[in-house]
Amino acid sequence: MDLTNQLIQDCIKGQRHAQTRLYELFASAMYTVCLRYADSREDAEDILQEGFLNVFQHLGQFRGEGSFEGWIRTIMINCALQRYRNRGQLQIVSSDSEEDDGLYVHEEDITSRIEVKTLIGMIQQLPPACRMVFNLYVFEGMKHREIAAYLGVSEGTSKSNLSDARRMLQKAITRKMNVVSL
């Protein structure tokens, strides 16, 4: 039995040291996930704590199908989405009449010139609906059909929110790159 499986069994038995160790193993990676969905670092910390409470409460439901880290990630994402549903912040964002303005930044240019922390900050500035769709599509690899079902919106709304998120990020990145190069 590997370490993670042993820790899971010990957590189910209520052993606090196992809970602490399991948290230590996965908190950093899950905090990064929470940051992408959150408005701020404090918000990400709240989502992380709420998510781990859910992990420990439902640990007995993990059946070993798929990775444990993936299972925890799903819980964190659900906590983040529920947080915004409860706040009423997952409203549809309609596309403005302003177009792309011809802005396009190559992915390799972005990753080589902007730090991850800066990109996460830019993602956090997106309107909640755009941020959720962007994260689910880009980082979780979900299709628009899945996102629509997950968020309770139409597939067209999912596509529109992704397009809006990309446009907003492209503008923010272009502004940042222009400031950096001055």
pLDDT-based confidence at 181, cuts 50/70/90? Answer: low
Q: Name the architecture of domain 3-87.
A: Orthogonal Bundle (1.10)
Is the pLDDT reported for residue 175 higher than 50?
A: yes
pLDDT for the residue numbered 97: 34
pLDDT for the residue numbered 180: 55
Are both 3-87 and 107-181 of the same fold?
Answer: no
**Averaged confidence pLDDT in the chain:** 84
What does the domain layout of the chain look like in residue ranges? Answer: 3-87, 107-181
* CATH top class, domain 107-181: mainly alpha
CA gap 16, 144 in Å, rounded: 40
Which sign, positive or negative, has the C-alpha torsion 48, 49, 50, 56?
A: positive
Choice between 155 and 101, residue whose per-residue pLDDT is larger: 155
Is the pLDDT reported for residue 96 higher than 50?
A: no
Is the pLDDT reported for residue 82 higher than 50?
A: yes
b/e map 150-177, b = 16+ CB within 10 Å: bbebeeebbebbbebbbbbbbbbbeebe
Percentage of the residues of the chain whose pLDDT score is greater than 90: 64
Q: Which of 14-28, 78-92, 165-179 has the lowest mean pLDDT?
A: 78-92
